[in-house]
Copies of this chain bind each other. A is one copy, B any other.
Amino acid sequence: MRVKVSRQAHFNAAHRLYRADWSFEKNQEIFGLCNNPNYHGHNYELIVSVTGEIDPITGYVMDMKVLKDLIKSEVENAFDHKNLNLEVPEFKEMNPTAENIAVVIYHKLRPHIEADKDIEVVLYETPRNFVTYSGN
C-alpha cells in the first residue's frame, strides 16, 4: 500500500532570468520582462510529496511534521526572502527558472529522505504558472 503524502510550504524571493553570456537585447528577446536587471519577485508555493509504504505501527508514510521541518531547514531557510541569483549558490551560473528551482529543491531534499521513497516537487511561481519534477 503505497501512499503519497504531500506538504505545502512557501517562500518569497527575487530573481532575474538571463544569461550572462548573452547581450541585453538577446536576453530581452528571450526572457522579456523577466530580464529586468533590477530583479522582480514571487511568492513561491511549494508542494513536496513523498510516496512510500504506510508504516503499520504508526499509520504514517512519513511524519508530516518531519517533512515540514525538513522543507523549512533545506528549502525555506535557503531561499526565503533571498535574491536567488545573488544569494543562492546553485543559481550563480544557472538561470533560476521555475524548472531549475524545482530540480534544485529535489536534489536538496533527496539525501534526507529514504531511498525507497519517491519524491515529487511542485512549484508555483504564480497562481497560474507551475512546474512538477519527480527526479526522472
Residues of chain A touching chain B, judged by Cβ–Cβ distance below 8 Å, are 1-10, 12-15, 17, 19, 30-34, 36, 38-43, 45, 49, 54, 57-61, 63-65, 80-83, 86-87, 94-100, 102-103, 126-133, 136
Contacts and interface: CB of A to CB of B under 8 A. Distances in A.
A81 B8 contact: no
B33 A14 contact: no
A42 B5 contact: no
Nearest to A35: B81
A80 B33 CA distance: 8
Contacts of A9: 128
A102 to B, nearest CB: 6
11 contacts: A2-B136, A3-B131, A5-B99, A6-B130, A13-B40, A13-B41, A14-B40, A33-B80, A38-B87, A54-B97, A59-B99
Given A12-B41, A34-B81, A40-B82, 4 more contacts: A5-B131, A17-B59, A59-B97, A61-B99
